[in-house]
Amino acid sequence: MIKNEPLFTKVAVIGVGLLGGSLCCDLVARNVAFHVAVWDPSSAVLNKALERGMAHTACQSACEAAEGADVVVVASPPQHIPDVLNELVATAKQPGLITDLGSVKSPVCTVGEALYGTRFVGGHPMAGSALSGISASHEGLFIGAPWAVVRTERPVEETGSPTETLCRLIRAVGGKPLLLTPNEHDEYTALVSHLPHMLSFAFQSLVDHSQNRDAALQLAAGSYRDFSRISNANPEMWDAIFKQNRAQILDITQKFVTKLQAMCGDLENDI
Protein backbone atom coordinates (compact mmCIF):
# COMPACT_ATOMS: atom_id res chain seq x y z
CA MET A 1 0.00 0.00 0.00
CA ILE A 2 1.43 3.39 -1.07
CA LYS A 3 0.96 6.10 1.55
CA ASN A 4 0.41 9.75 0.70
CA GLU A 5 3.12 12.23 1.62
CA PRO A 6 2.42 13.70 5.07
CA LEU A 7 0.69 17.09 5.16
CA PHE A 8 2.46 18.15 8.35
CA THR A 9 5.88 17.75 9.92
CA LYS A 10 4.59 17.55 13.49
CA VAL A 11 1.12 17.50 15.05
CA ALA A 12 0.74 17.70 18.82
CA VAL A 13 -2.40 16.36 20.51
CA ILE A 14 -3.01 17.49 24.09
CA GLY A 15 -5.40 15.06 25.78
CA VAL A 16 -5.79 11.47 24.59
CA GLY A 17 -9.42 10.58 25.25
CA LEU A 18 -12.04 9.44 22.74
CA LEU A 19 -11.64 12.37 20.33
CA GLY A 20 -7.95 13.11 20.86
CA GLY A 21 -7.06 9.43 20.78
CA SER A 22 -9.10 8.75 17.65
CA LEU A 23 -7.46 11.72 15.95
CA CYS A 24 -4.04 10.29 16.84
CA CYS A 25 -5.04 6.94 15.38
CA ASP A 26 -5.94 8.55 12.06
CA LEU A 27 -2.94 10.89 11.96
CA VAL A 28 -0.64 7.88 12.21
CA ALA A 29 -2.64 5.37 10.16
CA ARG A 30 -3.24 7.84 7.30
CA ASN A 31 0.30 9.26 7.44
CA VAL A 32 -1.04 12.79 7.91
CA ALA A 33 2.02 13.87 9.90
CA PHE A 34 5.65 12.76 10.01
CA HIS A 35 5.54 12.98 13.79
CA VAL A 36 2.64 12.81 16.26
CA ALA A 37 3.43 13.93 19.80
CA VAL A 38 0.95 13.56 22.67
CA TRP A 39 0.52 14.61 26.25
CA ASP A 40 -2.09 13.59 28.78
CA PRO A 41 -2.17 14.06 32.56
CA SER A 42 -2.40 10.27 32.95
CA SER A 43 0.84 8.35 32.50
CA ALA A 44 -1.20 5.19 31.99
CA VAL A 45 -2.96 6.81 29.04
CA LEU A 46 0.37 7.88 27.53
CA ASN A 47 1.76 4.37 27.88
CA LYS A 48 -1.32 2.94 26.20
CA ALA A 49 -1.02 5.45 23.35
CA LEU A 50 2.54 4.26 22.68
CA GLU A 51 1.60 0.59 23.05
CA ARG A 52 -1.17 1.00 20.47
CA GLY A 53 1.08 2.89 18.06
CA MET A 54 -1.17 5.96 18.21
CA ALA A 55 1.73 8.39 18.63
CA HIS A 56 5.46 8.59 17.99
CA THR A 57 6.29 10.43 21.22
CA ALA A 58 4.62 10.67 24.63
CA CYS A 59 5.75 13.87 26.34
CA GLN A 60 6.15 14.97 29.93
CA SER A 61 4.17 18.18 29.50
CA ALA A 62 1.79 19.91 27.12
CA CYS A 63 4.50 22.46 26.32
CA GLU A 64 6.98 19.74 25.39
CA ALA A 65 4.46 18.15 23.04
CA ALA A 66 3.61 21.49 21.39
CA GLU A 67 7.21 22.59 20.87
CA GLY A 68 7.94 22.89 17.15
CA ALA A 69 4.52 21.59 16.07
CA ASP A 70 2.86 22.78 12.86
CA VAL A 71 -0.52 22.05 14.44
CA VAL A 72 -1.45 21.86 18.12
CA VAL A 73 -4.79 20.22 18.91
CA VAL A 74 -6.10 20.75 22.44
CA ALA A 75 -8.35 17.77 23.16
CA SER A 76 -8.59 18.25 26.93
CA PRO A 77 -11.93 18.16 28.79
CA PRO A 78 -13.87 21.32 27.83
CA GLN A 79 -13.50 23.05 31.20
CA HIS A 80 -9.69 22.77 31.00
CA ILE A 81 -9.14 24.00 27.42
CA PRO A 82 -8.70 27.72 28.31
CA ASP A 83 -6.07 26.83 30.92
CA VAL A 84 -4.15 24.68 28.43
CA LEU A 85 -4.26 27.45 25.83
CA ASN A 86 -2.76 29.84 28.36
CA GLU A 87 -0.06 27.31 29.28
CA LEU A 88 1.02 26.81 25.68
CA VAL A 89 1.57 30.47 24.76
CA ALA A 90 5.31 30.39 25.46
CA THR A 91 6.09 27.28 23.42
CA ALA A 92 3.60 26.87 20.57
CA LYS A 93 5.43 27.32 17.25
CA GLN A 94 5.03 30.50 15.23
CA PRO A 95 3.13 30.51 12.92
CA GLY A 96 1.61 27.12 13.75
CA LEU A 97 -2.13 26.49 13.93
CA ILE A 98 -3.72 26.18 17.37
CA THR A 99 -7.10 24.45 17.52
CA ASP A 100 -9.26 22.48 19.94
CA LEU A 101 -11.97 19.83 19.99
CA GLY A 102 -14.26 21.37 22.62
CA SER A 103 -18.05 21.10 22.54
CA VAL A 104 -18.71 24.78 23.34
CA LYS A 105 -16.99 27.44 21.26
CA SER A 106 -17.77 30.95 22.58
CA PRO A 107 -15.58 30.85 25.73
CA VAL A 108 -12.77 28.95 24.01
CA CYS A 109 -12.65 31.23 20.97
CA THR A 110 -12.60 34.30 23.22
CA VAL A 111 -9.50 32.99 25.00
CA GLY A 112 -7.82 31.43 21.98
CA GLU A 113 -8.17 34.45 19.71
CA ALA A 114 -6.98 36.82 22.46
CA LEU A 115 -3.85 34.71 23.01
CA TYR A 116 -3.00 33.64 19.45
CA GLY A 117 -4.85 35.99 17.10
CA THR A 118 -5.50 34.49 13.67
CA ARG A 119 -3.43 31.40 14.56
CA PHE A 120 -6.29 30.10 16.68
CA VAL A 121 -9.22 28.46 14.93
CA GLY A 122 -11.72 26.62 17.10
CA GLY A 123 -12.81 23.15 16.12
CA HIS A 124 -15.49 20.65 17.11
CA PRO A 125 -15.96 17.27 15.40
CA MET A 126 -19.51 15.98 15.76
CA ALA A 127 -18.35 12.42 16.27
CA GLY A 128 -18.77 11.69 19.93
CA SER A 129 -20.01 8.58 21.67
CA ALA A 130 -21.57 7.54 24.96
CA LEU A 131 -18.19 5.89 25.57
CA SER A 132 -15.16 7.90 26.64
CA GLY A 133 -11.43 7.60 27.21
CA ILE A 134 -8.56 6.23 25.18
CA SER A 135 -10.03 2.71 25.26
CA ALA A 136 -12.96 3.95 23.18
CA SER A 137 -10.76 5.66 20.58
CA HIS A 138 -10.35 4.09 17.15
CA GLU A 139 -9.49 4.77 13.52
CA GLY A 140 -12.22 6.13 11.27
CA LEU A 141 -14.26 7.92 13.95
CA PHE A 142 -14.40 11.12 11.89
CA ILE A 143 -15.30 9.66 8.50
CA GLY A 144 -18.22 11.66 7.14
CA ALA A 145 -18.58 13.63 10.39
CA PRO A 146 -19.35 17.38 10.33
CA TRP A 147 -16.49 19.27 11.96
CA ALA A 148 -17.15 22.84 13.01
CA VAL A 149 -14.42 25.34 12.11
CA VAL A 150 -15.03 28.40 14.26
CA ARG A 151 -13.86 32.00 14.61
CA THR A 152 -15.57 35.12 15.96
CA GLU A 153 -15.52 36.64 12.49
CA ARG A 154 -16.90 33.98 10.17
CA PRO A 155 -13.86 31.97 9.00
CA VAL A 156 -12.92 31.89 5.33
CA GLU A 157 -10.87 29.08 3.80
CA GLU A 158 -8.21 31.24 2.15
CA THR A 159 -5.12 29.55 0.74
CA GLY A 160 -2.35 29.42 3.35
CA SER A 161 -4.56 30.62 6.20
CA PRO A 162 -4.89 28.83 9.56
CA THR A 163 -8.51 28.09 8.62
CA GLU A 164 -7.37 26.32 5.45
CA THR A 165 -4.76 24.39 7.44
CA LEU A 166 -7.44 23.10 9.82
CA CYS A 167 -9.75 22.22 6.93
CA ARG A 168 -6.94 20.21 5.29
CA LEU A 169 -6.36 18.30 8.52
CA ILE A 170 -10.09 17.62 8.89
CA ARG A 171 -10.43 16.30 5.34
CA ALA A 172 -7.29 14.18 5.79
CA VAL A 173 -9.01 12.20 8.58
CA GLY A 174 -12.34 11.93 6.73
CA GLY A 175 -14.28 14.82 8.28
CA LYS A 176 -16.35 17.56 6.62
CA PRO A 177 -15.47 21.15 7.60
CA LEU A 178 -18.38 23.47 8.46
CA LEU A 179 -17.46 27.17 8.83
CA LEU A 180 -19.32 28.87 11.70
CA THR A 181 -19.15 31.69 14.23
CA PRO A 182 -19.06 30.75 17.95
CA ASN A 183 -22.63 31.96 18.51
CA GLU A 184 -23.92 29.92 15.58
CA HIS A 185 -22.09 26.82 16.77
CA ASP A 186 -23.30 27.08 20.35
CA GLU A 187 -26.90 27.78 19.31
CA TYR A 188 -26.99 24.87 16.87
CA THR A 189 -25.33 22.36 19.19
CA ALA A 190 -27.64 23.39 22.04
CA LEU A 191 -30.53 22.33 19.81
CA VAL A 192 -29.24 19.12 18.23
CA SER A 193 -26.72 17.84 20.82
CA HIS A 194 -26.91 19.45 24.25
CA LEU A 195 -30.71 19.39 24.60
CA PRO A 196 -30.94 15.67 23.66
CA HIS A 197 -28.36 14.89 26.34
CA MET A 198 -30.28 16.92 28.93
CA LEU A 199 -33.48 15.05 28.08
CA SER A 200 -31.82 11.65 28.13
CA PHE A 201 -30.18 12.29 31.51
CA ALA A 202 -33.49 13.51 32.95
CA PHE A 203 -35.41 10.57 31.48
CA GLN A 204 -32.99 8.00 32.84
CA SER A 205 -33.08 9.61 36.27
CA LEU A 206 -36.90 9.41 36.19
CA VAL A 207 -36.76 5.71 35.32
CA ASP A 208 -34.07 4.92 37.90
CA HIS A 209 -36.06 6.57 40.70
CA SER A 210 -39.42 5.07 39.77
CA GLN A 211 -40.87 2.65 42.31
CA ASN A 212 -41.90 0.47 39.35
CA ARG A 213 -38.48 0.53 37.70
CA ASP A 214 -37.70 -3.19 37.71
CA ALA A 215 -41.15 -4.22 36.51
CA ALA A 216 -41.23 -1.55 33.81
CA LEU A 217 -37.79 -2.46 32.47
CA GLN A 218 -39.07 -5.95 31.66
CA LEU A 219 -41.05 -4.22 28.89
CA ALA A 220 -38.23 -1.96 27.73
CA ALA A 221 -37.36 -2.37 24.06
CA GLY A 222 -36.16 -0.21 21.15
CA SER A 223 -37.58 3.15 22.17
CA TYR A 224 -36.13 2.86 25.68
CA ARG A 225 -32.75 1.73 24.34
CA ASP A 226 -32.56 4.55 21.80
CA PHE A 227 -33.68 7.32 24.17
CA SER A 228 -31.54 6.23 27.11
CA ARG A 229 -28.34 5.43 25.19
CA ILE A 230 -26.66 8.81 25.53
CA SER A 231 -27.42 8.99 29.25
CA ASN A 232 -24.43 6.65 29.59
CA ALA A 233 -22.14 9.51 28.61
CA ASN A 234 -19.62 10.88 31.10
CA PRO A 235 -21.72 12.99 33.54
CA GLU A 236 -18.79 15.17 34.68
CA MET A 237 -17.89 16.09 31.12
CA TRP A 238 -21.48 16.91 30.27
CA ASP A 239 -21.97 18.95 33.42
CA ALA A 240 -19.06 21.11 32.25
CA ILE A 241 -20.55 21.41 28.75
CA PHE A 242 -23.95 22.41 30.13
CA LYS A 243 -22.37 25.11 32.29
CA GLN A 244 -20.22 26.48 29.47
CA ASN A 245 -23.24 26.76 27.14
CA ARG A 246 -25.66 27.72 29.91
CA ALA A 247 -27.52 30.58 28.17
CA GLN A 248 -28.13 28.72 24.91
CA ILE A 249 -29.21 25.53 26.69
CA LEU A 250 -31.59 27.36 29.03
CA ASP A 251 -33.16 29.13 26.06
CA ILE A 252 -33.68 26.00 23.96
CA THR A 253 -34.83 23.95 26.97
CA GLN A 254 -37.50 26.53 27.79
CA LYS A 255 -38.71 26.36 24.19
CA PHE A 256 -38.90 22.57 24.50
CA VAL A 257 -40.82 22.84 27.78
CA THR A 258 -43.30 25.17 26.05
CA LYS A 259 -43.81 22.59 23.28
CA LEU A 260 -44.25 19.82 25.85
CA GLN A 261 -46.75 21.86 27.85
CA ALA A 262 -48.73 22.52 24.67
CA MET A 263 -48.89 18.78 23.95
CA CYS A 264 -50.02 18.14 27.55
CA GLY A 265 -52.68 20.81 27.12
CA ASP A 266 -53.94 19.07 23.99
CA LEU A 267 -54.21 15.81 25.93
CA GLU A 268 -56.07 17.49 28.79
CA ASN A 269 -58.48 19.10 26.34
CA ASP A 270 -58.89 15.85 24.38
CA ILE A 271 -57.71 17.44 21.14
Residue 198 has pLDDT above 80, yes or no: yes
Cβ-contact 47, 58 below 8 angstroms: yes
Residue type, 150: V
Per-residue model confidence as pLDDT tens digits over 40-55: 999 999 999 999 999 9
Total Cβ atoms within 10 A of residue 72: 29
Total Cβ atoms within 10 A of residue 131: 13
Confidence of residue 3 (pLDDT cuts 50, 70, 90): low
Per-residue model confidence as pLDDT tens digits over 11-45: 999 999 999 999 999 999 999 999 999 999 999 99
Order across the sheet with 176-180: list the strands: 122-125, 146-150, 176-180
Dump the DSSP string for 190-255: IIIIIHHHHHHHHHHHHHHT-TTHHHHHTT--HHHHHHHGGGGS-HHHHHHHHHHTHHHHHHHHHH
Amino acid 94: pLDDT: 77
Residue type, 141: L
Which segment of 60-64, 203-207, 233-237 scores lowest on mean pLDDT? 233-237
**Alpha-helix residue ranges (DSSP H) falling in the chain:** 18-29, 43-51, 62-66, 81-88, 106-116, 162-172, 182-189, 195-208, 213-217, 222-228, 235-244, 246-268
Give the three-class secondary structure for 58.
Answer: strand
Can you tell me the distance from the alpha carbon of 159 to that of 179, in angstroms, rounded to the nearest whole number? Answer: 15
Give the three-class secondary structure for 265.
Answer: helix
Amino acid 2: pLDDT: 47
Domains of the chain (ranges, CATH numbers): 8-180 (3.40.50.720), 185-268 (1.10.3660.10)
Residue 161 has pLDDT above 90, yes or no: yes
pTM, two decimal places: 0.92
Total Cβ atoms within 10 A of residue 145: 17
